[in-house]
Amino acid sequence: MKNLSWYGQDLTGPERDAADALNLLVEIDETIANRVASRTWLVDGVTHDEAQAVVQVQRLAAIDSEAASEIAVLPWFDDGIEEQEWRAVQHVYTVVKHGPLLFQAFKRRSWFHDDISVAEEERLGNFVKVIDPQGDGTGTGVSVASKIVKLGWFNSEIVGTYDNQLLSELSALLAQNLALGARVAGMPFMAESIESHDIGLLRTLYELRGEDLESLTSQGWFEDGIDDDEAIVVTILPSQVNRSPENFRRLLNANFIDKGSAVLSLAGEVNFAIVRLGSVGNGDVMPHLINAAAKVEEFMGLPQPIDEVILLIGAPGGERELSGVNLGGTFIVVRPEDYECCVENETVFAHELVHFYPANRGRVTPPWFREGGADYIAFWVHQQLYNLSFSYVGDPCPAVSVQQLLDEEAAVGPAQHQAGPLFVCNYITGQQLLKAVSEAMGTAAFRDAWQEIQRTAAAGLPPADAKIYEIFRSHTPSSRLTLFEAAYAIWHTGDFD
C-alpha cells in the first residue's frame, strides 16, 4: 500500500474504497493483492471504475480465491479498467456463488478471456438473471444455466443482439414460471444459433395464460422439444388469441411451413417463412414475397428494418374485412383467398411489407400516408415486377378529401375512425393524392422526398401532415410547383399557408 503514490492521509472516496478492499484482499490472499496493487491503472491514481474493480475482485476472493486469481491475470484486467469490466467481475461473483462449475465452463472462451465489451458484460448480466431469476439470492435457475453454458452460441463471439435478448426473455420466463422456463431451455430451437423467432417463442410463453398456454404446452410437438420451424409458428400465437381464435386453434396443428432467404441490397440477408393453415400451397408466393421485399427496399432507400419476415396465411381478423394485416414484430397475415392464385394480381403482400418501414408503421404518421402510401408503393412494385397497372374499382370514396379524413379522425379519435366507414378512404384517397403529387413533381423528386420522410421517421421525428407537405414541396422543382399545389388542392384540400 505504501508504494501506491496516491495512498496517504487524505483519500478520495474511490481511493478509500480501493485501499479498504486491498487491505481485506491481503488477509485473504496476499499474492492476489500484490498482483492487483501492481497494475499500472491502480498505481497512478484511482477512479471510480478502478476502485470498483478492486472491490469486486476482493468480494470474489472471499468466496473463491482461485477464481479471483484467474480474473487478476486476464488481459483485460491488465490494460485499464472500464465500467463493463468491473461489472463483469461482479457478475462472475454471482455465478461462482451459485455454481462454481458454471464459471469453469466459460472462463477460457475468447469472448470472456480476451476482453469484455459492453455486449459481453450484458451477456453475463443476463446469464446471472437466468441463474437467479427472482433476484433474491436463491439461485433457482442454476440447472437451467447449466444447460445454457453447453450451447454453441453461448460459447461463441456475440453476433447481433439476439443472443442477449434470448437470455433476457428466458430469465423473465423463469421468474414467472420456473418449471416452464426450465422445460424449454436447451430445446432444439436454441441449440445452434438464435434468430428473431426464438425470441418470439419465449415471449409467447411469457404472454399466454391459462387454457391458451395449456393448449400450446400440451401439444405432442411441444413436449418432444420445439425446433426452429415450430418456433416460427409459436411466435405468431399471441396475436391470434383475441384477433382470430380460429387461427390460434389451427396454428397448434400447423405443419406446413415454407422457408426461404435472400440477400437484399441494403439489409443483407433476410429470412422468409410462410406458415399455412392448410395443406394447399402456392409455390409462387415465396419468390413473389422476396422480390416484393427487394423492390420495396429499393423505393424506401432504407434497409428493410427486420431480418425475418413471417407470413401467416389465415383470416386477418379484426373488426373490418381485410385482405391482410401487419401485426408488428416480424409477421404479417394474408387471407387465403389472396394467396391461392395469381400473386401478380394481389398487391396485399407488398402493401404489408411497406408497413415494416418507419413512416408507414404504427400510428406515427397520418392514416392517409400510412395506408395510401403502402398502396402507392405496392402498385409501383407490381408495375415493376409484372408490368401491371392497378386502380380502384369504381369510386368508393367520391368527394372524400384527405382533409375530411383528418378532420374526422380528430373529431372521433383514431380508434373510432379506424372502425368507421370512412377509414378505407385513407387507402384510396391517400394513394390518389400521392399518385397525383408524384406526377406533378416528377418521379425522381418524389422518391427523394419520400425517402426523406422515411429517414425523418427513422430518426424518431415522424412527420405530421403539414411536415409531409413541406417535405414534398421542398423537393418539387420550381417549374412544377403550380402542378404540385394543384394536386394538393384537388386531393387534400387542406390549407398550408
Q: pLDDT band for position 1 (50/70/90)?
A: low
Q: How many CA atoms lie within 13 A of 432 on its CB side?
A: 19
Q: pLDDT band for position 47 (50/70/90)?
A: very high
Buried b (16+ CB within 10 A) or exposed e, 336-358: eebbeeebeebbbbbbbbbbbbb
- What is the structure's pLDDT at 315? 74
Range with lowest mean pLDDT among 148-152, 184-188, 341-345, 483-487: 341-345
- What is the structure's pLDDT at 320? 61
Neighbouring residues of 179: CB distance < 8 A, sequence distance ≥ 6: none
pLDDT, tens only, 200-215: 999 999 999 999 999 9
Asked whether the predicted pLDDT for residue 319 surpasses 60, the reply is no
Dihedral (C-alpha) 205, 211, 212, 215: value to the nearest 10 degrees? 90
> Do 72 and 32 contact (CB within 8 A), yes or no?
yes
- What is the structure's pLDDT at 453? 97
**Residue in the structure block whose three cell numbers are 486469481:** 69
- What is the structure's pLDDT at 177? 97
**Residue in the structure block whose three cell numbers are 403482400:** 349
Range with lowest mean pLDDT among 32-46, 131-145, 321-335: 321-335
Burial class (CB in 10 A: 0-12, 13-18, 19+), 137: exposed
Average pLDDT of the residues of the chain? 92
Helix (H) or strand (E) holding 326: strand 324-326
Neighbouring residues of 48: CB distance < 8 A, sequence distance ≥ 6: 13, 14
Q: Which residue has the higher pLDDT, 344 or 453?
A: 453
Domains of the chain are 358-497 (1.10.390)
* Spatial distance between the Cα atoms of 6 and 386, rounded to a whole number of angstroms: 75
Q: pLDDT band for position 83 (50/70/90)?
A: very high
Helix (H) or strand (E) holding 269: strand 268-276
* Spatial distance between the Cα atoms of 40 and 382, rounded to a whole number of angstroms: 65
Q: Which of 221-230, 322-331, 376-385 has the highest mean pLDDT?
A: 376-385
Average pLDDT over residues 326-342: 76
Average pLDDT over residues 292-317: 92
Return the closest-CA partner of residue 308 out of 337, 282, 275.
275
Asked whether the predicted pLDDT for residue 15 surpasses 70, the reply is yes
Query: How remote is the C-alpha of 373 from its chain's centroid?
Result: 24
Return the closest-CA partner of residue 323 out of 339, 311, 342, 344.
339
Give the pairing of strands 308-313 and 331-334: parallel
Asked whether the predicted pLDDT for residue 196 surpasses 60, the reply is yes
Q: Which residue has the higher pLDDT, 395 or 326?
A: 326
Range with lowest mean pLDDT among 87-91, 386-390, 451-455: 386-390
* Spatial distance between the Cα atoms of 268 and 262, rounded to a whole number of angstroms: 8
Average pLDDT over residues 363-388: 95
- What is the structure's pLDDT at 373? 97
Per the structure block, which three cell numbers stand in for 426?
A: 385513407
Question: Measuring CA to CA, how many Å separate 8 from each of 14, 19, 61, 272?
Answer: 13, 10, 25, 65
